[in-house]
Structure 1
């Protein structure tokens, strides 16, 4: 029987023995570097005291790859529930309410059919668990169910306060001391090189901020760098501005300088710290070897095992993603070389494996790579770095063309030398109204000429677009001009 505590598992045989006894067993896969799984582990520990007759097991996923692999674990936190000698349920992600509810259903509850939402969790577990869930929600800035009034306004106010909380503010994955993705780490390094003091916010700790800021800034990825409340951009833009000297000019224009640097180190600044990276303590020979390995292939995976025989589910997941993206890569089995395994953690400031590098830059581990694939960011990065050649369809090309200028005219000939009377009339109408426009000669490209008819469902030329939307052909444009609607349409 359970003892009302959580036991760290050393082998799968321990789990099998408890499961075969027929008692309820709850198996939690977690990682020390993952804040979400740490929070879940607190709830897990409290639940073990409320249901002492069940077995509660904890597995550090990346340190026990054979157990993780046996249960197909590819991300943490992850929980497997056993009852009557077999697995009956699973839970992926940080959801303490579902955890308590599922434990109650497996181990017994006052009302096991009652969903254990945060407000009613006491029906499934004790007061201690309820308090822990409340703290979890508080730490993650969660908004209680049913309390949605003014949520959008409150969130925008919160985002504005965060953005303006420091003259230079970085929203990143992880912290400056422990970045959780290679892009965030790159921006931190650049700010350090520029000797700029900055604040930071770990968007992995707050889902509301993480999703809300994307819409607020109209910028879909992280990191995001702000200067005096204005968005500078993401990793690629910051790198480009840094290399071109523009970033220093931006800071200078906003009267931000490096006067806060003291003895080569930055003073602390709110939730974030800037700082010159301390020496890794690695010898020059080890560092040189690591750099050589990282750059031995445009795409390099440091993993447990080999592509033919991965030794952990996380490594297998990254390989699957690379194969789905049809990317050629090389790998290194860190289990075969302690010097590389331990040294790379220090060199990259990334505490776990696998680690994916593209053109010598750390991308991240399994969770980061999976998220980037789902959002399409991984393919963009691979294309930007020349690893893959993106296949552009005709629709892709047409979409870019119609949006290449706010006002875009597809015509026969050019504005200076129209090749048909209808095109000439539209050019004259736009010129008379003082409208600036771009143009494309459909006589020069038969694929565009034929494809745009289907794309726009408009069979003739010219075709006029405004902000990517079709306005119409010659007759419609002339009618709008005569009615005074043409100029007002473009000024909306």
Structure 2
């Protein structure tokens, strides 16, 4: 103890410390994960503030036995132990929750109180405290954010404007051009290299505030995002399509973007299909890796087998693929050291698992999980022909079921485009009902299709647990009779 973090490499070490009965906080991390690195700074500060607790750090992917024992499937991950047993866990980058849970285990603050800078002690520097305060604000207002998309502050908007205009061609990506952290970012980097244009980049994983703010600034929910002369061109799919059609070259030409000279082209290196050419691997191994990658439309390189994963990260991807009802093949990289090390070089991706779709690297567990949550994974599986094309009826069912209380309206809750929609929004808010909404003016296919699907010819339409409640008149009648809230919480 004594205010330091100890790196552990065996379950025996941990069992011995946990068995002592003292408070123990475990941080499962990965050096390649920006969120892990940021949270580890706070973890180290907290070890100074709580010298009577043990702070242990575990390299999650390098210690599969320990990760398995604590059910770790994503990083950063924290386990809190006291009196010889695990009493709490925390998954994800949430500084305020980490501070609260550490203090709770160490017995310094009251349960349920939000961590404040004072509760973190003097060791936590101003940068860490600022991060905690900002994320605490985000967490406190998370319910409101379901309905409200607040505007960007003038300083944030100004900074974003400066960033998108920092270079004539500007790419907001996960990772850096030299070390992309997702397959989509890598593909856009490769396209820009093939287009022979100089470009600037910004790693959105390095700045959570800018990452979320840029989504609102550009009205584009995913990354990468490619800008030309301050104007958004689009994400990975659009960039690839523009490149293949020759339109991207024309856009650059129209905006006066010069191509790099041959000497710079050599520095950038040649790339194609998301995998660098200059791998220095033998022809035999390269051929074998390509054969393995393309041996199935969906191919997972993992630790262990689907029914017996040897790490939580691999299990997470297996679970996701099964949830998506995807047929996939796998390769146990623990069974072949040549493939294990060679594929890292071939794909320029340093960890496992690695998921490939139609021979293209998608990414690891964190990327796949994020894509599943955003719906991007399912879209790709449909686009690549892995899953049957989604019908309008399938899409409507998913939209209706996307929230317990779902309102199809004209406009948004903060900017309704008709009085009927506005009154339903006001009624739901006054009753304290959480809901999500869909602007039917933004999608003509949904607007017309939902009328047929629901057999209800007008809007708004309110649904509860996928069942149609009705339109404006019915909702107002329920509200006036005092039955609205009870109807939406049965």
Q: TM-score, normalised by structure 1?
A: 0.74
Deviates most, 70-79 or 35-44: 35-44
1:247: how far off?
A: 1.1
How many Å separate the matches in 1 of 2:131 and 2:337?
Answer: 37
8 A Cα contact 1:43 1:132, kept in partner: no
Q: Which residue of 2 aligns with 1:216?
A: 217
Change in CA separation of 1:179 and 1:54 when aligned onto 2, cut-off 3 Å: same
How many Å separate the matches in 1 of 2:338 and 2:393?
Answer: 50
1:242: how far off?
A: 1.1
Q: Which residue of 2 aligns with 1:129?
A: 124
Q: Which residue of 1 aligns with 2:389?
A: 390
Q: Which residue of 1 aligns with 2:367?
A: 368
1:390: how far off?
A: 3.2
CA RMSD of the aligned region, Å? 3.4
Q: Which residue of 2 aligns with 1:406?
A: none
8 A Cα contact 2:396 2:450, kept in partner: no
1:155: how far off?
A: 2.6
Q: Which residue of 1 aligns with 2:253?
A: 252
How many Å separate the matches in 2 of 1:239 and 1:79?
Answer: 39
Larger radius of gyration: 1
How many Å separate the matches in 2 of 1:122 and 1:450?
Answer: 55
Change in CA separation of 1:342 and 1:135 when aligned onto 2, cut-off 3 Å: farther
Q: 1:188-243: per-residue Cα shift (whole Å, max 9, x none)?
A: 01111111110111112222222222232222221111111111111111111111
Which runs of 5 or more structure 2 residues have no equivalent in the other structure? 142-149, 269-274, 400-443, 460-470, 472-490
8 A Cα contact 2:26 2:57, kept in partner: yes
8 A Cα contact 2:299 2:330, kept in partner: yes
Change in CA separation of 1:450 and 1:256 when aligned onto 2, cut-off 3 Å: closer
Change in CA separation of 1:191 and 1:101 when aligned onto 2, cut-off 3 Å: same
Which runs of 5 or more structure 1 residues have no equivalent in the other structure? 268-275, 401-438, 441-446, 459-469, 471-492
Change in CA separation of 1:265 and 1:143 when aligned onto 2, cut-off 3 Å: farther
Change in CA separation of 1:102 and 1:395 when aligned onto 2, cut-off 3 Å: closer
Secondary structure of the structure 1 residue equivalent to 2:26: strand
Q: 1:233-287: per-residue Cα shift (whole Å, max 9, x none)?
A: 11111111111211111111111021455353469xxxxxxxx967222222211
Secondary structure of the structure 1 residue equivalent to 2:308: coil
Q: 1:121-149: per-residue Cα shift (whole Å, max 9, x none)?
A: 23342x22244514757999x99999xx9
Change in CA separation of 1:384 and 1:49 when aligned onto 2, cut-off 3 Å: same
Residues 345-364 of structure 1: matches in 2 within 5 Å? 345-364=344-363
1:97: how far off?
A: 2.9
Secondary structure of the structure 2 residue equivalent to 1:383: helix
8 A Cα contact 1:301 1:330, kept in partner: yes
8 A Cα contact 2:49 2:120, kept in partner: no
Q: Which residue of 1 aligns with 2:464?
A: none
8 A Cα contact 1:294 1:300, kept in partner: yes
Q: TM-score, normalised by structure 2?
A: 0.74
How many Å separate the matches in 1 of 2:309 and 2:50?
Answer: 36
Secondary structure of the structure 2 residue equivalent to 1:128: coil
How many Å separate the matches in 2 of 1:378 and 1:310?
Answer: 22
8 A Cα contact 2:383 2:389, kept in partner: no
The answer as to 2:333 corresponding to 1:334 is yes
Q: Which residue of 2 aligns with 1:475?
A: none
How many Å separate the matches in 2 of 1:172 and 1:183?
Answer: 9
Q: How many residues align?
A: 400
How many Å separate the matches in 2 of 1:209 and 1:314?
Answer: 27
Change in CA separation of 1:450 and 1:183 when aligned onto 2, cut-off 3 Å: closer
Change in CA separation of 1:189 and 1:137 when aligned onto 2, cut-off 3 Å: farther
Q: Which residue of 1 aligns with 2:14?
A: 15
Q: 1:143-183: per-residue Cα shift (whole Å, max 9, x none)?
A: 9999xx98533332222221111100111111111111111
Q: 1:33-84: per-residue Cα shift (whole Å, max 9, x none)?
A: 0111112112212222332222111110111111111111111111111111
